[in-house]
Structures are given as structure tokens and as C-alpha cells.
Amino acid sequence: MSIKLQNISVNFGDLQILKNIDMGFNEGEISVVLGPSGCGKTTILNLLTSMNEAQEGVLSGIGERKISYLFQEPRLLPWLTVEGNLKFVLDEVGTADERDELCSRFLKMTDLSDYKNWYPGKLSGGMKQRVAIARAFAHSSDVILMDEPFQGLDLKLKLTLIDQFISLWKEERRTVILVTHDIHEAVKLADRIYVLSEKPAGVVDSFTIEEKREERSPGSPLSLKYESRLYKSLV
């Protein structure tokens, strides 16, 4: 069942944040919500985690589903090792060996096996975010919400992390909702894109990208085509 926002409006006191939002996030796809900074993108994720409530409209398909969340900052527990941080979000089901195996699998997929006993304080910013990505996948969730998790990383690191994320996602096929203001990131990752206006945010454009992600490398004609469309919608 896909996640749907129908005619959603959110106000914080007198300030209207979201206005008549209609969006649908398909199962097993990466949906991107693109919008200018401070337009209320995070509020959409907060609605899905029940941290904010909508004054109007219907939200369906999220219910009691398990959620993983990638924040702007990694939010790792400094007193737990890399492996400990993954185990922190694991359900207490199965044997200890099974949980160890699950962690090892995701640490391997994110090239973190050698660092499993390290504490976050010793890791670089990019490595910390990689641990957060491994944690998001290690958690047995159906939906992964991402709030600009690649922001503040240098370009090369950002592209590496995005590639790593995509390869993990291809194996796991979770439903992903990413909010970002970065059009390159949006084009590289999205199956479907929603473009939001300034506050009060409404959807100004939405479209699907059918082409394979391998063809959407930065600077490629395909990427430029979509980026130019997004640029026009945003400005």
C-alpha cells in the first residue's frame, strides 16, 4: 500500500507551513520532496513520524509501519561502538548470533567492517553518516525517511555515499522518502519528484524519472534535462 497525503495543510499557530499538499509515495520506490530551504519539507517527514499533526487533510498508508530515519546529522550514540549503534535499533528478536550477522552484513555493505569496534568520536563526518545509513537499513523498517542526510559533505564524498545508498536500496527495496533542496541529489536518486514552493508550501511540479540511475551521473545530458526542469520549477 502506498503512502498518501491528500489535501494536507499544517499550521504552526498563525503561520501556515503546508497548504493543500497532495502526494503519493509508491512502495519500494525512492520519492524525493524538493524545495527551498525552510519551506516546510521536514514538516512532511514529521507528519509521517507523528511528530506534527495536520490541521486538514488525510494521511494514509503509514499507520503503524516501522520507520528508519536518516537525519541531517548522524545522531550516533558516542558511547556505543559502530556495531553497538546498529544493535541499538535492532529488535530483540532472534539469537545474538543472528543479530551479529545482520550487523556484519550491513557494515560490510557500507565498508565499515574494519571499524565495527570504533567509537563515533574517532570517525570522520562521512563515516559517521555511513554508520547512520547502515543503521537505517539494519533496522527492520518498511520505510526510510531521509532529511537531507548528504548535506554538508564534500561533493566526492556525497556521490560515494549516494552510490552506496543506492546499492543498499537495490538489495533491500525499501520505500524511501527523501527531502532535500539539492537538485543534483534529487535527480540522481529519485523515481518520483515533488517540487514544493516557498512557505506556505504547495506542490508546484511533480514527475517520474524512468531512466536508470546509472545514466544520471552529474553533468550527463539526462541529468541536465531534469535539473533544468527542477531549476525552473524552483526559481
Partner 1 sequence: MKSKFLLLASTAVLLLLWKLVSLYMGSEIILPSPEAAFSSLVELSSGDHFLDSLLFTIKRGLIGFVLSASAALVIGIAAGENRIVFNLLKPMLTVIKTVPVLSIVLLAIIWFDTENVPIFVCFLVVFPVISANVIEGIKNVDPHLIEMARIYRVGKRRILFQIYFPSLIPYLLAGLSTASGVTWKAVIAAEVISMPRYAIGTGMQFSQIQLNTAELFAWTIVAIIISSISETFVMGLQYLLPWRRKL
Contact residues toward partner 1 (CB under 8 A) are 49, 51, 66-69, 71, 73, 75, 77-80, 88-89, 92, 118-119, 121-122, 139
Provide, rounded to whole angstroms, the least separation between the CB of residue 122 and partner 1: 6
CB of 73 to partner 1, least distance (A): 7
Cell numbers placing 163: 552510490
DSSP at 186: H
Q: Which is nearer to partner 1, 110 or 141 (CB)?
A: 141
CA 100 – CA 108 distance, rounded (Å) = 12
Question: Least Å distance between CB 44 and partner 1?
Answer: 15
CB of 111 to partner 1, least distance (A): 19
The Cα–Cα gap between 51 and 81 comes to 28
Closer to partner 1 by Cβ: residue 68 or 223: 68
Min dist CB 139 to partner 1, Å, is 6
- Please tell me the distance from the alpha carbon of residue 67 to that of residue 1, in angstroms, as a whole number: 15
Residue 19 or 139 with smaller CB distance to partner 1: 139
d(CA 187, CA 168): 18
Is the CB of 78 or the CB of 219 nearer to partner 1?
78
Q: What share of the chain is helix, strand, coil (3-state, %, to 5)?
A: 40, 25, 35
Q: 88 or 231, CB closer to partner 1?
A: 88
DSSP-derived secondary structure letter, 8 = E
Round to whole Å and give the CA distance between 60 and 149: 25
- The owner of cell 561533493 is 155
